[in-house]
Amino acid sequence: MTAQKKQGIFYSMWSFIISIRLTISLLLVLSAVCIIGTVVPQNESPANYQKIYKESTYNLLKSTGCTDLYHSWWFLAIMGVFSLNLTACTLHRIPRTKKLLKRSDPVMTEERGKDLLCCKKFTFDELSSKKELLFSETLEKHLVKPLVTRKDNKLSLFSEKGRFSPLAFYLTHAGILIIIIGVLLGTFGYKGYMQIFEGEKKDEVMIRDSRKSAKIPFELRCDKFELHYYDDAKGYERMPKDYKSTLTVLEGGKEIFTKVIEVNDPLFYKGIRFYQSSYGTGNNSNSDVLLSIHPLDKKGEVQYRASIGETFTLKGTKDTVKVERLIPDFGMDDKGRYFSKSNQLNNPAVLLTFSRENMKPYQVWTFAKFPDTHKNENQIYDVHFVNIFPVYYTGLQVAKDPGVITVWIGCLLMTIGIYLAFFSSHRRIWLTFTISQDSVQAVFAGTSTKNKETFSETFNDLFEKLKTTGKLK
């Protein structure tokens, strides 16, 4: 293969890589991929997918990577080609941009004047120091203070603004590339969940949609959980209004800092964010219950507060009651087994064991919402579940994204680039005077890289003002 042929192949490949057609094609493909990623749920469990799709459809989505689209090899390949396209286009424009960034010659020549967007001439009698100052102030009001150059019988005023506006292209491209890098860095992070009871500390996160866990480089302790209710109900039936957690970060057993978090106000430390997302009681043995108990054949009642697992003696008797178990949201399966539907106090129930001498112990379920259910035929006491004093846990959503700062930097650069691209232009104005004994010949010229019609209107208005200044005595 000859050198000329190799050069031709290289040129063709380079032309393809920097072509706008490739850019548009990649943007269309990425838009279609994002639509798929929006329509198809991402990173769900197989059971959830099988509820939505047929088995064959689910297998197809899984095999093509559509269930974890943004981590699939082909999506990363498209992003790689797009990054290559942006980088090549950026490098291709460097020579042209260098020329644009070179400072313009402050002295106007006849040849340059012919190539400019606007160029006009006018004549006046003399150029005094006062007129020179007025010309300079007029240009400064429209652009910036002009650069003054004197040579022989010529005086040149040059005003320039937006010289670095051509960098908008590079800032926008750099911002996009940095965002892509930040997104790729984010794949090394994770999203998970932590459940911490009051007084407990943990350093392990359960990864979402996985049985795996991840260690965090510090410990997190829940000092206090606060639950505030609306005032329109009492006891367990009160609706929660707000909840917040007091969390302390510990390293090597030492307290680093403490923060009260609530919804939309997370704790952030060492690149990890902890969001307040839920709460509950679980089957915590430290919870207390308030019970009202009295014999069936007598009136009046006595209230007892006890912890789960505690045994207490009924007043005026030797009979004992043991609080066996607490279920916050009572449920029963088809085999008669008890379980909690959730960790919220939606239907709290307590299992009690009553004991008396010379009598077989019996158990009774007592419900806060339904006091008359599950009565035992052998029971000799009437029981009411008055209230519960649970030890709550705070449920924290945990997110580690090592690329988030990189993405923000990219967004900032791209925003600056877009602003420069749409709202700034490189504008230059020359005002050159050739001084003779009888008159002063003035050449007024200017150009702009964008909004040329608007610039022409402004240029004509400025020209009339300069003519008027030249006629002043």
pLDDT tens digits along 145-175? 999 999 888 999 999 988 888 888 899 999 9
Confidence of residue 237 (pLDDT cuts 50, 70, 90): low
Q: Return the pLDDT at 373.
A: 61
Confidence of residue 234 (pLDDT cuts 50, 70, 90): low
In the predicted model, what is the mean pLDDT of residues 369-381? 72
| Higher pLDDT pick, 102 / 169 | 169
Q: Return the pLDDT at 103.
A: 64
The architecture that CATH gives domain 103-162+425-471 is 2-Layer Sandwich (3.30)
Confidence of residue 236 (pLDDT cuts 50, 70, 90): low
CA pair distance 354, 374, nearest whole angstrom = 15
pLDDT over 80 (residue 459): yes
Q: Return the pLDDT at 407.
A: 92
CA pair distance 214, 207, nearest whole angstrom = 7
**Tokens (6 digits) for 221:** 């302790």
Q: Return the pLDDT at 116.
A: 82
pLDDT over 80 (residue 210): no
In the predicted model, what is the mean pLDDT of residues 26-30? 91
| Higher pLDDT pick, 220 / 99 | 220
Question: At a CB cut-off of 8 Å and minimum separation 6, what does 164 contact?
Answer: 101, 420
In the predicted model, what is the mean pLDDT of residues 116-123? 88
Q: Rg (Cα) of the chain, in Å, rounded?
A: 39
pLDDT over 80 (residue 214): yes
Confidence of residue 5 (pLDDT cuts 50, 70, 90): low
Could you tell me if 118 and 459 are in contact, meaning their C-beta atoms sit under 8 angstroms apart? yes
**Tokens (6 digits) for 338:** 């008890």
The CA–CA distances, whole Å, from 117 to 165, 206, 446, 451, 460 equal 18, 65, 6, 12, 12
Confidence of residue 358 (pLDDT cuts 50, 70, 90): confident
pLDDT over 90 (residue 184): no
Greatest CA separation for the chain: 136
In the chain, where are the structural domains located? 3-92, 103-162+425-471, 185-282+393-413, 288-389
pLDDT over 80 (residue 372): no
pLDDT over 80 (residue 248): yes
Q: Return the pLDDT at 3.
A: 55
In the predicted model, what is the mean pLDDT of residues 223-248? 76
In the predicted model, what is the mean pLDDT of residues 288-299? 84
In this structure, the number of other CB atoms found within 10 A of the CB of residue 137 comes to 12
Q: Which amino acid is at 41?
A: P
Q: Return the pLDDT at 41.
A: 87
Q: Return the pLDDT at 326.
A: 87
Locus of tokens 């009411």: 384
**Tokens (6 digits) for 401:** 């994204």
Least confident of 91-100, 116-125, 452-461: 91-100
In the predicted model, what is the mean pLDDT of residues 127-156? 90
Closest CA to 189 of 306, 331, 70: 70
pLDDT over 80 (residue 421): yes
398: left (phi > 0), else alpha (psi -120 to 50), else beta?
Answer: beta
pLDDT above 90 covers a percentage of the chain that reads 34
Q: Return the pLDDT at 4.
A: 56
Confidence of residue 347 (pLDDT cuts 50, 70, 90): confident
Q: Return the pLDDT at 6.
A: 59
| Higher pLDDT pick, 372 / 3 | 372
Least confident of 159-163, 298-302, 373-377: 373-377
Domain over 185-282+393-413 is classified CATH 2.60.98? yes
Confidence of residue 413 (pLDDT cuts 50, 70, 90): very high
| Higher pLDDT pick, 87 / 369 | 87
In this structure, the number of other CB atoms found within 10 A of the CB of residue 396 comes to 27
pLDDT over 90 (residue 322): yes
Q: Return the pLDDT at 278.
A: 86
